[in-house]
A and B are shown apart, each in its own frame.
Chain A
């Protein structure tokens, strides 16, 4: 495609291609714009109709109403705690497996990979229903830890595959060089591989955070008092006033968008795709 490019018809084609690309970009951006608009409208405007389509009167009244509603801040804190536990647990448990898959040839390599992949053929959050019964027996029901444990199960397969592709991306030779210079394997990993893997691992961790922050079903099943934000919102969704929903929807969205912006370079690498 790159070399030969007949000018005229090709130029029209390019124009059309841009048009399609732009249309799809707008299809994604416009709904995000609309919820931002709704969340920053004064309250009486949220109820009004027809609504202005441009930000003519901006106000933080609706957002403040949401954030000061009873229990919202506590649920935000729960969400963050759950997501942080999930992120550390899944890296701690998953990264060693990712390293093993990347560096060793051993019997059962393929079998393990299949196990990991097959877990993705199941909707893991649905398993929170039997887990709820177990957690009641363990005395863990309605705790942030129970939610984090299920979220870790949900994130673990991805973490293993992603970390394995991060480690594959780091030349084996560096590690071997460190080992000929007198490091043992553990030291080589800690001093040479880990610093190089850090950006990739951080991207994976951030993605796990977003996964957990967004998860609704398991969180709603596993908690009663200690709700995470999405769980709290979904449980009272149909009784809550419209401004609460709009502001809440926007508030859920923001950290995700910021995080995705932070790891935009790694977004595709997370799935083992190198954008050429």
Chain B
């Protein structure tokens, strides 16, 4: 056959490459420029200092990290359970799969509002606790002096964003040949041993992908926090929004954006290093 240079694939890739340069690579550089350079083009650390010295900065950092370290492990356990159930092919599993996938379509704002309806003073949680006779007065859960706003946000996020982790894990599970599990069974390994010694190690690439995906999503949590907790909590993305939307200061907002970008990249590299399997980084 002819072995001449093929143009077609490059032409087909051109539009998306140009688009990503224009609307991804370029604004990324711009975020750093805005964060470190003032209107007169002078390089400065002024905006970074303003960001760090702001009263809300460390609160936002703290809440963002608390959310990440509580949400991600919970999500993993739940997503693993869901993925194993989907993979177990129960009768009626089509319906279960559909229900488990529902939250994929639910926006963070809607999820936030839903959990606000549950946790608000005259909400459904207080109603249930009242009808069970546990409370006789509504309890104010979303009070910033308690840990409840964090709990509510964690539940909302686990509720909303576990499905995507499940999808990644199901993909991984389906790629594992059944023979491995059957072989372990022949040798008398119990369910838990098989899960721990066979399934989970083979699932490592998927776990890595899911972890990266989830952590990056967690750095941009925004609407859930705003909808559930209002002013009681703040996170990095909410501060970025406030500096642009309310104070009209693109420089400090860009400083937050730059920080979020650096943190995301940092965690990705961290996961790739510690979990050591690259290839197959699909999804």
Contacts and interface: CB of A to CB of B under 8 A. Distances in A.
Interface stretch (B45-53, B55-63, B214-222): B214-222
B129 to A, nearest CB: 9
Given A24-B81, A122-B265, A230 B216 contact: no
Interface of B: 6, 8-10, 12-13, 15-17, 19-20, 23-24, 27-28, 30-31, 33-34, 78, 81-82, 85-86, 88, 90, 96-110, 113-118, 120-124, 126-128, 130-131, 138, 159, 167-168, 170-171, 174, 178, 181-182, 185, 212-213, 216-217, 219-220, 222-223, 226-227, 230-231, 237, 240-241, 244-245, 250, 253-254, 256-257, 260-261, 264-265, 268, 281-283
Contacts of B260: 123, 126
A80 interface: no
A272 B122 CA distance: 44
A185 B8 contact: yes
Contacts of B250: 129-130, 132-133
A176 B260 CA distance: 47
Contacts of B109: 214, 216, 230, 233-234, 249, 252
A152 interface: yes
Contacts of B254: 129-130
14 contacts: A18-B90, A104-B12, A116-B16, A122-B216, A127-B27, A130-B30, A133-B250, A134-B30, A157-B20, A216-B108, A220-B241, A234-B223, A249-B109, A249-B227
B107 A273 contact: no
Main secondary structure of the interface of A (DSSP, over half): helix
A24 B244 contact: no
Contacts of B127: 49-51, 53
Interface string A229-253: 0100111011000100110111011
Contacts of A249: 109-110, 113-114, 117, 227
A31 B115 contact: yes
User: 7 tightest A-B contacts by CB?
Assistant: A249-B113, A214-B107, A256-B105, A49-B122, A130-B30, A100-B12, A153-B23
| Interface size class, chain A | 35 or more
A216 B107 contact: yes
Contacts of B120: 242
Nearest to B216: A123
A233 to B, nearest CB: 6
Contacts of A133: 30, 34, 250
Interface string A151-169: 0110011001100000000
